[in-house]
Amino acid sequence: MKPVLITVTVPVKNEEKHLRKCLDALLYQDYPNYEIICSYNRSDDASLEILEEYASKGLIRLYRDDDGNNVTSRNKLFRESHGDIILLFHARSIAEKQFLSTLAKKLDENPDAAGVCANIHYPQDAHPISKAVCVTMHSWLGGHGTSYRRVRNDEAVDCPLLTAYRREVLEKTGFFDPYYNVGDDADYNERARRQGFHFMKTPETRHYQYMRDSLPKFAKRIFVYGMERAKVFTHHGSSPKIYLAPSLALLFFTATLILALARPNYMPFVQLELAAYAIIVLSFSIKEALENDLSLLPLLPVMYAVEHFFYAVGMLAGLIAYAPGRRHAHGTRPTTQQT
């Protein structure tokens, strides 16, 4: 019996640096029945030339989406796909050779799973900051309860990242919502879970992703993540509570600091909080450095602090900006079927 067709979708914008590695790895899969379709969104680099080169050889199908964004590009690719399994992939990710075959096997073995994703690791040639970002976000302290956390066994997850979805699930749940900038996957998975679907993550394969390679880029991205998670929270009225933890911790620390400034005898409590946080961060930094790369140890405490602070601030800003009573001030939310 012929294996089911997998469609790999890759939206592309300004991905010249890693695009060839991404496509070459996808073309080298051991799975016998798949297609690769890419969308080009207006870029400032040579992404289009690279895509046209691969398309001219019949290696990929290419679509233009000059006026769209990442979300509308995903929806366009889903609608142009032919596969029974549709993989959402990223142009900065490098898939292992058995990546597609493993995901297809997991869906076959778990008929109740609506989609499956895999662990993410860093490429060996990535920038040290990019490696540290990857380690931070995929550790327990940096990604507990989120789609980034690595798993050691097959596990159910609430919000899978770069997922192989069953086609019928995408068609039933309405694809991705352009109302979101980077939180569209969180919104989609929340909608799917409410319709009774569930997702899983497997450690049996992985892909390697080039993540942000500077502190300002990382801080900005994490702030946006916080804002978008708040948008999901205010729209759906609920979300896994773990996403609120950094903001609650920041509010508690701020309240304690204000109290200590007003009444200096409370300053030891502030010092205790800072010491406890420093010990926790340093402990996890040592653990992750030993398990990954000791040379990353000086960077990891900084990355944890940046992630926790900017995510917390972004979440708080989002909760204010997207509060239900203020939603119309930020534009009308499109329907989930819009492209």
Q: CA of 325: how far to CAs of 180, 238, 253, 285, 309, in Å?
A: 18, 16, 28, 41, 26
Rounded to 10 degrees, what is the CA torsion of 176, 123, 305, 300? Answer: 160
Share of the chain above pLDDT 70, in %: 92
Q: Is the dihedral of CA 261, 265, 271, 273 positive or negative?
A: negative
Alpha-carbon span 323 to 230, nearest angstrom: 9
User: Containing domain of residue 92, as a range?
Assistant: 6-211
Average pLDDT, the chain: 88
Mean pLDDT confidence for 74-103: 94
pLDDT beyond 70 at 101: yes
pLDDT digits (tens, 9 = 90+) for 172-224: 888 888 877 777 877 888 888 888 889 999 999 999 999 989 999 999 999 99
Q: Are residues 60 and 150 in the same domain?
A: yes
Q: Are residues 159 and 289 in the same domain?
A: no
Question: 227 in a domain, yes or no?
Answer: no
Q: Are residues 161 and 61 in the same domain?
A: yes
Q: CA of 175: how far to CAs of 34, 72, 221, in Å?
A: 21, 10, 24
- Residue 44 pLDDT class (50, 70, 90 cuts): confident
Phi, psi of 46 (to 5 degrees): -95, 25
- Residue 244 pLDDT class (50, 70, 90 cuts): confident
User: Tokens 């919502």 correspond to what residue?
Assistant: 177
Q: Are residues 184 and 278 in the same domain?
A: no
pLDDT of residue 334: 40
Mean pLDDT confidence for 329-338: 40
More confident: 72 or 292: 292
Alpha-carbon span 249 to 245, nearest angstrom: 6
pLDDT beyond 60 at 122: yes
pLDDT beyond 50 at 28: yes
Q: Are residues 183 and 245 in the same domain?
A: no
pLDDT digits (tens, 9 = 90+) for 3-19: 999 999 999 988 999 99
Question: 219 in a domain, yes or no?
Answer: no
pLDDT beyond 70 at 114: yes
pLDDT digits (tens, 9 = 90+) for 297-309: 999 999 999 999 9
- Residue 338 pLDDT class (50, 70, 90 cuts): very low
pLDDT of residue 149: 79
Please, how many CA atoms are within 13 Å of residue 45, restricted to the half-sphere of its CB? 11
Q: Which CATH number characterizes residue 81's domain?
A: 3.90.550.10
Provide the 3-class DSSP secondary structure of residue 94.
Answer: strand
Number of folded domains that form the chain: 2
Q: Are residues 286 and 137 in the same domain?
A: no
